[in-house]
Chain A
């Protein structure tokens, strides 16, 4: 299928700073995107999602921005904490032929330093 890819494999930020994790997608028909956080030894944990009829969605300390013109989305984490250290994936559902299974990119590793 078409790919959902991440720009950077690793990101190091200082505690208290804001983090921005980027993701590009190639299918212009994509209409739903999800961000997951995966800590070592655990399964992906849902963070936030966004539908294509929105440009921005906010959660607790997180914001997802969607730019359909350039097929790009980003995850912003405010006041990054050590507990935010993890791998972050963006994902989108594939089509009905695969039961809308998720297409994941490789992930961005976020390291929060004190």
Chain B
């Protein structure tokens, strides 16, 4: 039972580079989320999806894009990496709003 799987676990990017953070879940959850967590802080919502083909912005979407072509996958794209995007990124999914969200183990991203 894999749950939520995120890849890569670690990455270092140079300013201006692009990359895609992968997230996959095998629980047939409709709701998926991307959060970022800065040191000593709680999680902030970047983007969310309530089902395949449906995505929307969260609290801090600038500099990111997402897609949701299947129920299982919800990749997060950074187009022009900036130092402010250095953070730990978590993907989560849930069956419904009143069920707990399940989290992956995160991608630790440094931009230098």
A interface vs B, CB < 8 Å? 32, 34, 36, 41-46, 49, 51, 89, 93-94, 96, 98-102, 104-107
B interface vs A, CB < 8 Å? 4, 31, 33, 35, 40-43, 45, 48-50, 56, 58-59, 90, 92, 94, 97-98, 100-106
In this complex, the member of A44, A46, A94, A107 whose beta carbon has the largest number of chain B beta carbons within 10 angstroms is A44
> Of B49, B98, B100, which one neighbours A99 at CB under 8 angstroms?
B49
With both beta carbons as reference points, the residue of chain B lying nearest to A106 in the complex is identified as B42
Is B100 in contact with A98, judged by CB distance below 8 angstroms? Answer: no
Measured CB to CB, the closest approach of chain A to B104, in angstroms, equals: 5
Is A106 in contact with B98, judged by CB distance below 8 angstroms? Answer: no
Known: A98-B58, A99-B49. A46 touches B40 (CB 8 A): no
Residues of chain A within 8 A (CB-CB) of B98 are: 32, 51, 93
Give the tally of cross-chain contacts (CB within 8 A): 65
Is A42 in contact with B33, judged by CB distance below 8 angstroms? Answer: no
Is B103 in contact with A43, judged by CB distance below 8 angstroms? Answer: yes
> Of A41, A46, A89, A99, which one neighbours B33 at CB under 8 angstroms?
A99
Interface of B is mostly: strand
Report the Cα distance A98→B34, complex, angstroms: 12
Is B48 in contact with A99, judged by CB distance below 8 angstroms? Answer: yes
> Of B43, B97, B104, which one neighbours A100 at CB under 8 angstroms?
B97
Residues of chain B within 8 A (CB-CB) of A89 are: 42-43
Residues of chain A within 8 A (CB-CB) of B59 are: 98
Known: A93-B97, A93-B98, A98-B58. A107 touches B49 (CB 8 A): no
Residues of chain A within 8 A (CB-CB) of B56 are: 98-99
Report the Cα distance A49→B97, complex, angstroms: 12
List 9 A-B pairs, minimum CB-CB distance, nearest first: A100-B97, A104-B42, A43-B103, A99-B48, A46-B100, A101-B45, A104-B43, A43-B105, A44-B103
Residues of chain A within 8 A (CB-CB) of B4 are: 43
Is B100 in contact with A43, judged by CB distance below 8 angstroms? Answer: no
Is B100 in contact with A34, judged by CB distance below 8 angstroms? Answer: yes
Known: A42-B106, A44-B90. A101 touches B58 (CB 8 A): yes
